[in-house]
Structure 1
Amino acid sequence: MIDHIGFGASDYDASMKFFQAALAPLGYKVVMEGPPGAGAGLGNAHAPELWISPSAQKPAPLHLALRAETRADVDAFYKAAMAAGGKDNGGPGLRTHYHPNYYGAFVIGPDGHNVEAVCHKPA
């Protein structure tokens, strides 16, 4: 089981603004901040699940999928991520090629990361 995932951001301020806005509909917020230059952790409890830190280099893009409780949460994630400057990589909808109830949305963030919100529950 994964405790948390960390990744660098070439424009830390832009990435933090994006991730805070995009993940707010999923219940994520800053729950821990390190000393200057160490970054911050976002989570939906008392411990960070995602740790974002400044990076002198542009990191290799990654795929980050976060579970949503409802399909409406997926829709809200997509809307918030797009409003925060994300680029569309697949709007909210069913992806039945994964399984019949796979409802997800995909957005490219500031460093090219493919950020997804997914709900596995039926409508």
Structure 2
Amino acid sequence: MISHVFIGIRDFSKSYAFYSTLMEALGLTLKFQDADKSWAGWMKPEQPRPLFVIGLPFNGETASPGNGQMVALQAASRAAVRHGYNTAIANGAVCEGPPGLRPHYHPDYYGAYFRDPDGNKLCICCHQAQVSEIWDTRA
């Protein structure tokens, strides 16, 4: 259903450093990066779509986050939600809601919310029931 999501940024170097670390924490791989065009995109390994893309706005105007807009990235486990959230916060994100259950969405919804350095709101979520995470040390 979705081909790609494009997030407008203001400073490519700063945003690329932030998102590279976050995408690595979530197990996503870099599909392309072009500093001359100030954009980069990530994907799930071996899946060319959907893409998560960052870049300067094509119209040349300053990027600004929209009110009510949010991109939610799906994680494989609750531990992965916590790991991604902690990585984002450690790299300059601002908390909009720490990792936890949000049963008002559905009983197994586990999510965390934050804003990137440009103010774009993101979520990392897992829709799976709790499983044993005893061997996952990233949490």
- After TM superposition, the score normalised by the length of structure 2 is 0.80
- Residue 4 of structure 1 is matched in structure 2 by 4
Identify the match of residue 97 of structure 1 among 92, 104, 110: 104
Note the residue ranges of structure 2 that are not aligned, 5 or more in a row.
Answer: 131-139
Identity of aligned residues (%): 33
Q: Which has the higher contact order (CA 8 A, sep 6+)?
A: 1
Aligned Cα root-mean-square deviation (Å): 1.7
Identify the match of residue 76 of structure 2 among 69, 75, 93: 69
| Bigger Cα Rg | 2
Paired residue secondary structure (1:82): helix
Paired residue secondary structure (2:45): coil
Q: Which runs of 4+ in 1 moved over 6 A?
A: none
Q: Are 2:116 and 1:109 aligned?
A: yes
Q: How many residues align?
A: 123
Amino acid of the structure 2 residue aligned with 1:96? P
- Residue 133 of structure 2 is matched in structure 1 by none
- Following the alignment from structure 1 to structure 2, what is the Cα–Cα distance between the partners of residues 73 and 35? 29
- Following the alignment from structure 2 to structure 1, what is the Cα–Cα distance between the partners of residues 121 and 41? 19
Note the residue ranges of structure 1 that are not aligned, 5 or more in a row.
Answer: none
- Residue 22 of structure 1 is matched in structure 2 by 22
Paired residue secondary structure (1:42): strand
